Structure 1
């Protein structure tokens, strides 16, 4: 295939990228600005994100969100194809940058998780313990912020790490008694983390081709912008910190250690990038005791005080959640058929090992940064494909490392990107409109029916496709 001129790029895929991303952002923003609905819980009074208070129907927001997700998949797929053919996005980054800012000016869409973050932060800021006190047991259930939590999380203690918990408490201090202002402070924090990664990535990556891959698959990824940043999920903070750790590890181990602490201390799986950083350093024969000590000590300076504050029970709810099984996963049909839940963790570990073995030769290549990211990408892909509990925004664990690795990866890795684009799109569709209440009977039947009856088989198809392509990729790499 002839290489396109980088100055102009392949026209058709570029059009898909631009048009798909624009429609994705516009449809998502429309849902958010219309006001409380089955996709966006009410935030109450206060300063911050703006909406029109129109209360659109669940059918209206479901159609708009489905349009957003499908357009985002087209935009992401078109962008990846265009970069593979030589596109170097510039004005496209302006589009996504403006979109990111606009997403923070309107309420979060797609779940009520941000209400839980506000509640846990409020409990901590008022001297309570979000790891032992569920929202419905705090202040008699009458606190103006904590009482806003939606079912089924009213009686659930925090599942987030203590570093993330401290950030939530900080946002609560800013927001005070207002749910809207507390949530908006959290949205601004996530936007700053997102922007920092984009800037550092542009500065650290010297090769325009690799910068293009990083932009299109990570910082300008329309699905991550909407489902992740537009949903104000904690995975944005953890994912941004994990990517910063990868970008800074070689030249700034102290900063990388702090970033790694924020990632793992917000959501534990994001600490997987530490494995890639160490493996890449060993492969490059750059694993010095001083470099490792600076990074580890910097991480401990953040993690130790945070865990002392949270207490030894901080991961009690995490252990409980490890037995949960969401609907759109490979394990759901098996658990429904009687598979013991005790086999879920070994089964997930097996999937991680298989995916890592098959894709390691294709993805773990290039320089130190690319190898570190490649290790993180293969482990994240295996985990997400084999996890018992998986939601669309969890994919932030994958796309950042993959975006850094794919520029140096074997050509077969681009087929993997295509499969993962389809998987992310279809998985996101399964969680439209997002809340467990407020849906009409028809919308509930459609969305839950899709999630239960279609989602698991899509998950199986994605896993089998990744395994089959991995076998083919391993053979082709071995024959080179």
Structure 2
């Protein structure tokens, strides 16, 4: 049987390999970085055979996270947009009206670091995150290294909230806390995109999950209204970082409606209460920060780029490709049609989940994961880190068996879908091929002396999967 400590240090070695090549991420050297990614993914995956205790997992998360704190932004350049938007706000301009090129000047070093897709785009983020951006810009100025460290601190704060909330959601769903931590928090997507990639989704999810955990915990034998109120405020705050967190208010409102009668009238009553609470918090933050409500106009900014991972865009790519054979330029029009269809599916899907939760056929945590699943899959943009919106609550509630196994496999796949940095086609092919060889050798070395053993909670061994008591 593999020892957990072997996997812990193999994963750590993978993180170090990734860091060593971040300054030389070209050509064959990319294979070393991808090999590092693969070793960590492999170590995490094999831990699922016999998940260690929660304390061990938390310390492993600290070990794997620590080196990444010193890494440059990896997997995405969104951090440069964050820094530019913060500088715009710090100069007294409206980040919801002007983009980096207009606000800072096209020749600005900060503007040049922003992706060409977003240099003319205003901020798509909520006023709470924009306030953080402005604070950071006011402290560090245009220093990109200090800005990186400051934003990484904010996202680590979000990760701490996720680590706090996930076991509590797992307890509410009857799932082993250690499995929820391993699958939901220790998974490589969290490390790559919340820590190394510095995405504000970490803060959004941390606030949303912490608020949901507080609110659901308040609905015991006797409703604890103060705790419930704080939970709702935290969820609303998460939505003022990125709007998708708002679906957690639907889960809380439905849980309240079910508690007080599970009727349509109660659903409308408590749903309305959640809407009013969101409006109150949004108004307080929007007015209090001085940014106003301009953020409502820019919510669709991220959808202006046609995401190849979004299923709703595949319709447009396919029909547009067929149309081009006949001289018709219809790709963008059909992508627009696909997005409208996607929005309709989200509305119907969320409504269906609310109905199932109200009638007691879906537990609240599973309802949250399902709603966010609809938002991710049928939204206009899909990025690997968006998968975590649904994956973390699902990790906290899915029972042992095929659903959890499929989630594990999906997270492993998305963890290697993007290279740590861009490269040419030849470099990427060589990089992934070389990385696959190293990971294959690592797997053989790790499992050579392994002996089969039964585990009380497992994801990868199907025979114990189906008989596990973890959910």
Shorter-chain TM-score: what band? 0.7 to 0.9
Instruction: State yes or no: 1:268 paired with 2:243.
Output: yes
Q: 1:201 to 1:337 in 2, by over 3 A?
A: closer
Map of 2:143 onto structure 1: 178
Map of 2:75 onto structure 1: 110
Matching of residues 215-234 of structure 1 within 5 Å: 215-234=181-200
Following superposition, the deviation at residue 445 of structure 1 comes to 7.1
Instruction: State yes or no: 1:98 paired with 2:63.
Output: yes
Following superposition, the deviation at residue 129 of structure 1 comes to 1.4
RMSD: 3.8
Instruction: State yes or no: 1:158 paired with 2:145.
Output: no
Q: Deviations over 1:190-222 (max 9, x none)?
A: 112212332355578668953213311223223
Instruction: State yes or no: 1:304 paired with 2:304.
Output: no
Q: Deviations over 1:68-96 (max 9, x none)?
A: 4444544454444535xxx5343232111
Matching of residues 281-360 of structure 1 within 5 Å: 281-285=256-260, 299-300=278-279, 302-308=281-287, 309-322=290-303, 324-338=305-319, 340-349=334-343, 352=346
Map of 2:402 onto structure 1: 415
Secondary structure of the residue that 2:14 maps to in structure 1? helix
Following superposition, the deviation at residue 378 of structure 1 comes to 0.8
Aligned length: 403
Distance of 1:194 and 1:366 partners within structure 2? 33
Following superposition, the deviation at residue 404 of structure 1 comes to 2.6
Instruction: State yes or no: 1:391 paired with 2:383.
Output: yes
Q: 1:269 to 1:418 in 2, by over 3 A?
A: same
Q: Deviations over 1:272-322 (max 9, x none)?
A: 111112222322338899999997776555421433433443243432443
Distance of 1:204 and 1:338 partners within structure 2? 42
Q: Deviations over 1:118-150 (max 9, x none)?
A: 111111122111111111112333545444323
Q: 1:74 to 1:150 in 2, by over 3 A?
A: same
Q: TM-score, normalised by structure 1?
A: 0.72
Distance of 1:419 and 1:359 partners within structure 2? 21
Q: Residue 121 of structure 1 contacts residue 168 of structure 1 at CA under 8 Å; is this kept in 2?
A: yes
Following superposition, the deviation at residue 394 of structure 1 comes to 0.9
Distance of 2:314 and 2:274 partners within structure 1? 43
Distance of 2:250 and 2:279 partners within structure 1? 16
Following superposition, the deviation at residue 161 of structure 1 comes to 1.7
Distance of 1:337 and 1:293 partners within structure 2? 41
Secondary structure of the residue that 2:119 maps to in structure 1? coil
Distance of 1:360 and 1:405 partners within structure 2? 17
Q: TM-score, normalised by structure 2?
A: 0.73
Q: Residue 104 of structure 1 contacts residue 187 of structure 1 at CA under 8 Å; is this kept in 2?
A: yes
Distance of 1:283 and 1:190 partners within structure 2? 34
Query: Which ranges in structure 2 are unaligned for 5 or more consecutive residues?
Result: 219-226, 321-333, 433-471
Instruction: State yes or no: 1:442 paired with 2:410.
Output: no
Distance of 1:33 and 1:189 partners within structure 2? 25
Distance of 1:384 and 1:32 partners within structure 2? 30
Distance of 1:79 and 1:73 partners within structure 2? 10
Map of 1:82 onto structure 2: 50
Following superposition, the deviation at residue 392 of structure 1 comes to 0.7
Map of 2:467 onto structure 1: none
Q: Residue 120 of structure 1 contacts residue 168 of structure 1 at CA under 8 Å; is this kept in 2?
A: yes
Query: Which ranges in structure 1 are unaligned for 5 or more consecutive residues?
Result: 1-10, 37-54, 449-480
Shifted more, 285-294 versus 307-316: the winner is 285-294
Q: 1:365 to 1:302 in 2, by over 3 A?
A: closer
Q: Deviations over 1:220-245 (max 9, x none)?
A: 22321223222111111111111111
Distance of 2:305 and 2:190 partners within structure 1? 24
Following superposition, the deviation at residue 372 of structure 1 comes to 2.2
Q: 1:323 to 1:333 in 2, by over 3 A?
A: same
Map of 1:461 onto structure 2: none
Greater relative contact order (Cα < 8 A, sep 6+): 2
Q: Deviations over 1:426-454 (max 9, x none)?
A: 3343321344xxx2451367899xxxxxx
Q: 1:257 aligns with which of 232, 237, 248?
A: 232
Question: Highest CA radius of gyration, 1 or 2?
Answer: 2
Distance of 1:33 and 1:447 partners within structure 2? 15
Distance of 1:381 and 1:80 partners within structure 2? 23
Distance of 1:303 and 1:72 partners within structure 2? 40
Q: 1:93 to 1:415 in 2, by over 3 A?
A: same
